Structure 1
Amino acid sequence: MKKVLSLAIIFTFVMMVIFAAVPAAAQDTRVGIVLSTGGLGDLSFNDAAYRGLQRAEEELGIEFQYIEPADPSEDETALRRFANRGFDLVIGVGFQMSDTLELVAQDYPNVKFAHVDQDFGEDILDNVVSLNFAEWEGSFLAGALAALVSDTGVVGYVGGVDSSLIQRFEGGFYQGAKYINPDIEVNRRYADSFGDPARGREIALGMIDDGADVIYHAAGGTGSGVFQAAGEEDVYAIGVDSNQNYVEPGHVIASMLKKVDKAVFDIVKAVDEGTYEGGQNLYFTLEDGGIDLTSLTEVGQPVLDAHESGLITDEELETIRTMKEKVTAPHADKIAEIKEGIINGEIKVENWGVTGRPENLE
């Protein structure tokens, strides 16, 4: 009996050693993202952030969940939901969520957070990384293109909510247009919403009535109304954040790219690989490719994808190609020259998000 008991003890000990030597199965990295007002389908930065997670899911094998708050008042509950459940990374999208994310991150110091579109300055928490973009640089290119294309000498800018962030776009566009034509008229209005296409259309139509023939928007889902007005009145528009050139084919001449998808993918990859370092305010610029203007000569893969999926017809694809050839390609070299000037410092672009909007603008 004692021999049998001894053998059982030895067997149990051996099995414990064996199992201790076998590493536990690695769990997939889990990411939770709380999207900004307007949610998915904005064809803008929410969709871009989502694409970044889709890429991470495909290439890295991570798992992710998302929440689309109907109102900013729901942001805190959504962020806490992911933090409470032990997600490896919690992402908040949009400057309107910055204070809330900071508050939640303080309560969960062992959870990693990332935020899109807010520089937290020197007081950024050790478990937060902010992902920011030099929108004023890319918007300068958009303004220069608008001035080069305009026949009326009047262009327009439609912003979402008037704030320091959205003023970065406004300021860059204004300066770019004035760089090309100091006498150009730049109409600027805000919709007070990132999710009101009807309001975007109304503002754009008013600008068109006042002579604007190229209108740039930084208004999220509200911008779809700007595109609609451009199509109705046969003028041009410039998209933002994502490649929106397939919307209203032939009327969206370019888009100012803000590569939120790449920034989101990179931060998820850092968490997945164990290289995440909190307490950083990161910036993506023209120089590193985080900001850019879509090609003025080629239609681009997103447009081809839209055609492949049936969003645009063969005829509409050809319309976009023709527009590129006749309207934007002639200005490609000039825009490339300006881009290089910004990168090497020869052209200085003021960041209105920091300096504020100058008084007594024309």
Structure 2
Amino acid sequence: MKRTARFAAVGVIAALALTGCGKNDDDGDDNENGADANASVCESADGDGPAIGLAYDVGGRGDQSFNDSAYAGLENAVEEYDATCVEGEATDGEAESAREDRLRNMADQGLNPIIGVGFAYSESVNAVAPDFPDISFAVIDGFDPDTEPNDNVAYLGFAEEQGSFLVGVAAALKTETDQLGFVGGVHNDLIKKFEAGFVAGATAVNPDIKVAVNYIEESDLAGFNDPEGGNQAATALYEGGADIVYHASGASGSGVFEAAATADAWAIGVDSDQYLTAPADQQEHILTSMLKRVDVATFNMVESVVDGEPLTSYVVYDLSQDGVGYSTSGGFIDDITTDIDEYADQIISGEIQVPTAP
């Protein structure tokens, strides 16, 4: 049965602030950073609730961005429903068969639901889900490769362009050079939504503003786990005159923040409130972050299975549902939040239609 998504009260900010860089591989072994503060909730969860499978994208738990937001939703689901869980993680350049094997291994263990974090799991979920009709699968930012959808798969998407529009407004109101920058991890349709929204928001404030764009990779997903590439891409933008750079590049964003600190300029984070997880010397350079509530989507998928009405087909989390937004940590944009919120109201009302492509 198809079910309309509803939002749970999820403490993502605190969870992300405490999330460390320790990761589990598919066998559940800790890496060398496996201190208690970095341990996964899956290591100690032993309840009798649902058994959840969470398959991370490249960068995994500890990326302080997209994957960590999914983990925050997992933590809340484990606590709320006395659940157990198993984690897996994609590696740079891995074969499609590796993703399929990861999901199939989770399904063989009887995990339900199984959530792939990132569009790259779309094909593998499509291949595995038909063999396990009694298990519910979900893909964050996913798409259905077939014209005949699987009844046991949900594609959980976001209106990233709307949240990006708002941080574009913030950047335009704060820039002193009228030159902004955007760093994308991979030049694909999903990341171009971030670019399009950011440019639209900035030019809504000032039609003459300039936004320069750099992508780390054209198609290689390694662009989401390349801090040095993020640093180089952002440095080129700062040297070109940008005083604020927005990134949508996953774990590569740490390099963008390093470049901002070196240039004594501003950066804008993505997916989670990255001010909370950045090193102290970088925090003063993070103007705001575009919030993408992957935690809520993850929690809601688990909740729907617990309720016996699993989410299926396409579910979009937009500004009207608080599915996207912006952060105010650091207080750097406190003087312009009223202006930003006025634009948000216009998006929600339909007065402003935000583009999804540059």
TM-score with structure 1 setting the length: 0.80
Cα deviation for residue 265 of structure 1 reads 0.6
| Partners of 1:66 and 1:277 in 2: CA distance | 21
Report which stretch shifted further, 206-215 or 68-77: 68-77
| Partners of 1:202 and 1:117 in 2: CA distance | 27
1:18 corresponding residue in structure 2: none
1:197 to 210, 214, 227: 227
2:326 corresponding residue in structure 1: 293
**After TM superposition, what 4+ stretches of structure 1 lie above 3 angstroms from structure 2?**
none
1:262 corresponding residue in structure 2: 296
Cα deviation for residue 44 of structure 1 reads 0.8
Q: Does 1:88 align with 2:123?
A: no
1:284 to 298, 303, 317: 317
Cα deviation for residue 109 of structure 1 reads 2.1
2:14 corresponding residue in structure 1: none
TM-score with structure 2 setting the length: 0.81
**How many residues end up aligned between the 2 structures?**
299
**Which structure 2 residues correspond to residues 194-233 of structure 1 after superposition, within 5 A?**
194-233=224-263
Report which stretch shifted further, 119-128 or 171-180: 119-128
From the superposition, tell whether residues 123 and 134 of structure 1 become closer, same or farther in structure 2 (CA, over 3 Å).
farther
| Partners of 2:303 and 2:311 in 1: CA distance | 12
| Partners of 1:198 and 1:178 in 2: CA distance | 29
Could you say which structure has the larger radius of gyration?
Answer: 1
2:154 corresponding residue in structure 1: 129
| Partners of 1:87 and 1:224 in 2: CA distance | 33
RMSD: 1.5
| Partners of 1:78 and 1:57 in 2: CA distance | 21
| Partners of 1:32 and 1:205 in 2: CA distance | 38
The structure where helix makes up a greater share of residues is 1
1:51 corresponding residue in structure 2: 72
**Which structure 2 residues correspond to residues 1-362 of structure 1 after superposition, within 5 A?**
27-71=48-92, 72-73=94-95, 74-120=98-144, 123-192=148-217, 193-246=223-276, 247=278, 248-278=282-312, 280-295=313-328, 299=329, 320=330, 324=331, 327-352=332-357, 357=358
Identity of counterpart residues, as a percentage? 40
Cα deviation for residue 110 of structure 1 reads 2.3
Cα deviation for residue 96 of structure 1 reads 1.6
* Letter aligned with residue 61 of structure 1: D
| Partners of 1:48 and 1:282 in 2: CA distance | 18
* Letter aligned with residue 129 of structure 2: A
| Partners of 2:168 and 2:351 in 1: CA distance | 17
1:64-117 residue CA offsets vs partner (Å, 9 max, x unmatched)? 110112234221111110012221211101112211111111222222101100
* Letter aligned with residue 291 of structure 2: L
From the superposition, tell whether residues 277 and 233 of structure 1 become closer, same or farther in structure 2 (CA, over 3 Å).
closer
| Partners of 2:211 and 2:100 in 1: CA distance | 38
